[in-house]
Amino acid sequence: MKKSILILLLGTILFSFKSDVAEEGIFPMSHLSKLDLKKAGLKIGVDEIYNESKPSLVNALVRLGGCTGSFISNEGLIITNHHCVFSAVASASTPEQNHLENGFYAETNDQEIKTSLPCKITRSFKDVSTEVLEGVDEISNAIEKQTKIKENIASIIEEEEAKFKDLTIEISEMLVGKSYTLFRYKMLNDVRLVYVPPKNIGKFGGETDNWEWPRHNGDFSIVRAYENGKPYAPEKFLEVNPAGTKDGDFTFILGYPGRTYRNQTAEFLTYQNDYVLPIIADWFDYKIDAIKEHAGNDVGQQLKYSGTLASLSNTSKNFKGKMQGLQRTDVIERTYNDQAYLKEYAESNIDLKSYVPLFDKNKELYERKFKLITDYLYLNQLYGTGVFSAAATISSYNNRFANMTKSEVNTLLDSNKQDVRKSFGTYFGIGNNESLDKTLFTELFYRLSQTSNPELREVFTSRIEDYTQAEIRNCAEIMFDKSGLAKSANGAFALDKKPKKFFKNKSELVKFAADINQVFSKMRGEMNEVNAGINEIIPRFNDLEMELNGDVFVPDANSTLRFTYGYVSGYEPEDAVVFSPFTTIEGILEKSIGSDNKDYFLQPEFIEKLQKTQPADVLKHPQHNSVVVAFLYNMDTTGGNSGSPIMDGNGRIVGVNFDRAYTATINDYAWNQSYSRSIGVDIRYVLYVMKYFGGADEVLAEMGVEL
């Protein structure tokens, strides 16, 4: 009787801790039939969203680089976020033709600018878990299990590629060691810029407003996909609803959300909160300052690093938001409580006793990971600097050469020049710069010198007599300067013309890199062992949770096609602070007029146009009598959902998702109705900007919009 009561109590407590689960969800297409979407507010059939036998809304979706986009015409027009094409626009810009600052519009197809953005379209998918896990249960070693899984995946992909020669085949891990899905993709590698708003419209508010609400930026752009030199004709494209939406309306999103971590153990949250988030946020802040100081007022350098700065700033603020969210909420405490009760449940059931040791094993593995992670993160950043990466690669090749004949070395260097050069990574990258690289190398050298790892510390103490900050930095600078690798152009010449001499570099930096390679190789081996052990435990924990809570499993987001739904809704992030779900043009004027904040700068002619333009009535909010700019909704989104179409109950596009509110940055770990809000640019502002600022009438006509 006591045992039954305990199990019932534990089940009740666990369900209370997971009270939001029924409302959240970044669902794969296979889950749509399990949702009561008609009751939720969907007015079309579920088979109109995803259908294996005929074109449906998912056929209008694309993965565009690391973002999402959607077709909005039968001639390959794609709408996505401004920040998703930011780097492509910067690359197409010069100080003389600065499309990033001034915007861009191609009135005809031949004026469109080609980019390097890849476009991926999901053709079909199937569960291949059984095939991927074949023979895995017979293996006891965790790393060997992972190796077997990789071998099985490679074999399945090879077989699929032989059947579908015109498609790209990928197998995505839905739950490590448990669930795997095979996806078939059509790839389009010719994507061209069509319409891009000026930076101070597309990125209005800049870093000041990033991850914040209220928002007033027109974060959208239009590109076109081509196939064989002709505009691509998609199987499906989205209809635009120029009237937009209103408070309380049902909405849904299709897209390619990045990574969530909701099926991890509780220790993972400590790992993130105490180590990964603060270390990376702090380092990225340092790197941002270094790049800005290096670029100065040089427009060419500013354009060169604009994409990098945007990415670093976005990640840094995101990580700080996650830390704040984890500290302000009970997510970590609640997850540990869930796990403790799960352990008690296993202990109380004789049939589940085999699960009990997993809890202590998981804790031990994470304690090992905590000891490694600080150095591990900084070392990964060190290998991302140009000159050190070159020194480390030279050392690695010299180790290979030691086991090769002279003839084999000559063959490698003469016949595989392109592969050899490619292996040097950031050293020959466009972003590599001598003075900036030296600054970053010196700072990382100092931070790593403070390690408590005896083997790693010996690499530094053996080179530095006076272990003061000044001397440590001085040692790094001298090592950098005397390496002969500072100018990558000289290195490229030497590698191409005199490769043998290039690899005979005997500088102290190459010797230092050789020592670091040895330490990092050992550290990486231990980290792989730890991660393999953790990955072996996760599916067992998942099985135990399903045993207790029922057979319900939603896989973490992993850049594969997903569905989420919810409602247009404001919220109260803090006591006495109430956010309504819509912003209007009045907010742009309030922020820009009289402000010294460069993120809110608008040219006088822009302000005048905002004040004097009489837009079509359909673009105005019925209550505010003003054009809607952005809106809030309680859908479950994460990174990768940038550019996702926001659709109404009829499947028409009413906005483009581009961000989350600051409190919702912890969506990666947990979703909550109270604070999880995503932000989209309203379709009414998209149309307003294109019509009255861009004069993009030809594109509007192609989209089927009349204003």
3-state DSSP call for residue 563?
Answer: strand
pLDDT averaged over every residue in the chain: 91
Compute the distance between CA of residue 100 and CA of residue 311 in angstroms, rounded to an integer: 16
Question: What is the per-residue pLDDT for 2?
Answer: 33
Tokens of 51: 């259908």
Could you give the C-alpha distances from 310 to 83, 283, 317, in angstroms and in order?
Answer: 8, 15, 11
Question: What is the per-residue pLDDT for 409?
Answer: 86
pTM over 0.75? The answer is: yes
pLDDT digits (tens, 9 = 90+) for 444-502: 999 999 999 999 999 999 999 899 999 999 999 999 999 988 887 778 777 878 888 88
Question: What is the per-residue pLDDT for 143?
Answer: 93
- In this prediction, residue 674 has a pLDDT band, given cuts at 50, 70 and 90, of confident
Cβ-based neighbour number of residue 180 at 10 Å: 23
| Residues 405-425, mean pLDDT to the nearest whole number | 83
Contact 564, 26 (CB under 8 A): yes
- In this prediction, residue 432 has a pLDDT band, given cuts at 50, 70 and 90, of low
Q: Is 16 exposed, middle or buried (0-12, 13-18, 19+ CB in 10 A)?
A: exposed
Question: What is the per-residue pLDDT for 6?
Answer: 37
**Residue 430 confidence (pLDDT) above 70:** no
Contact 223, 191 (CB under 8 A): yes
Compute the distance between CA of residue 343 and CA of residue 99 in angstroms, rounded to an integer: 58
Could you give the C-alpha distances from 247 to 24, 281, 621, 652, in angstroms and in order?
Answer: 19, 35, 11, 17
Question: What is the per-residue pLDDT for 403?
Answer: 87
Percent of the chain scored above 70 by pLDDT?
A: 96
pLDDT digits (tens, 9 = 90+) for 604-645: 999 999 999 999 999 998 888 899 999 999 999 999 999 999
Query: Which residues pair with residue 80 across a beta bridge?
Result: 221
- In this prediction, residue 285 has a pLDDT band, given cuts at 50, 70 and 90, of very high
3-state secondary structure 683-707: HHHHHHHHHHHCCCHHHHHHCCCCC
Question: What is the per-residue pLDDT for 420?
Answer: 84
Could you give the C-alpha distances from 542 to 351, 489, 530, 635, 668, in angstroms and in order?
Answer: 16, 52, 19, 24, 18
First to last CA, the chain: 71
**Residue 596 confidence (pLDDT) above 60:** yes
- In this prediction, residue 293 has a pLDDT band, given cuts at 50, 70 and 90, of very high
* Cis bond upstream, residue 499 (ω within 30): no
Element containing residue 253 per DSSP (H, E): strand 250-255
Which is more confident, 675 or 309? Answer: 309
Percent of the chain scored above 90 by pLDDT?
A: 76
**Residue 272 confidence (pLDDT) above 80:** yes
**Residue 254 confidence (pLDDT) above 80:** yes
pLDDT digits (tens, 9 = 90+) for 648-671: 999 999 999 999 988 888 889 988
pLDDT digits (tens, 9 = 90+) for 50-102: 998 899 999 999 999 999 999 999 999 999 999 999 999 999 999 999 999 99
Tokens of 108: 């005809």
| Residues 273-284, mean pLDDT to the nearest whole number | 97
Compute the distance between CA of residue 24 and CA of residue 566 in angstroms, rounded to an integer: 9
Compute the distance between CA of residue 59 and CA of residue 67 in angstroms, rounded to an integer: 16
- In this prediction, residue 237 has a pLDDT band, given cuts at 50, 70 and 90, of very high
Compute the distance between CA of residue 209 and CA of residue 200 in angstroms, rounded to an integer: 13
Contact 294, 433 (CB under 8 A): yes
* Helix and strand numbers, DSSP H then E, in the chain: 26, 21
Q: Residue 132: what are its φ and ψ, rounded to 5°?
A: -65, -35
| Residues 24-32, mean pLDDT to the nearest whole number | 89
Question: What is the per-residue pLDDT for 14?
Answer: 37
Could you give the C-alpha distances from 28 to 157, 172, 312, 478, in angstroms and in order?
Answer: 21, 12, 30, 54
Question: What is the per-residue pLDDT for 551?
Answer: 65
Cβ-based neighbour number of residue 194 at 10 Å: 25
3-state DSSP call for residue 71?
Answer: strand
Compute the distance between CA of residue 593 and CA of residue 309 in angstroms, rounded to an integer: 27
- In this prediction, residue 304 has a pLDDT band, given cuts at 50, 70 and 90, of confident
Q: For residue 212, which of 583, 654, 567 has the smallest C-alpha distance?
A: 583
**Residue 395 confidence (pLDDT) above 90:** yes
3-state DSSP call for residue 251?
Answer: strand
Cα R_g (the chain), whole angstroms: 27
Contact 646, 68 (CB under 8 A): no
Contact 661, 594 (CB under 8 A): no
Compute the distance between CA of residue 42 and CA of residue 512 in angstroms, rounded to an integer: 62
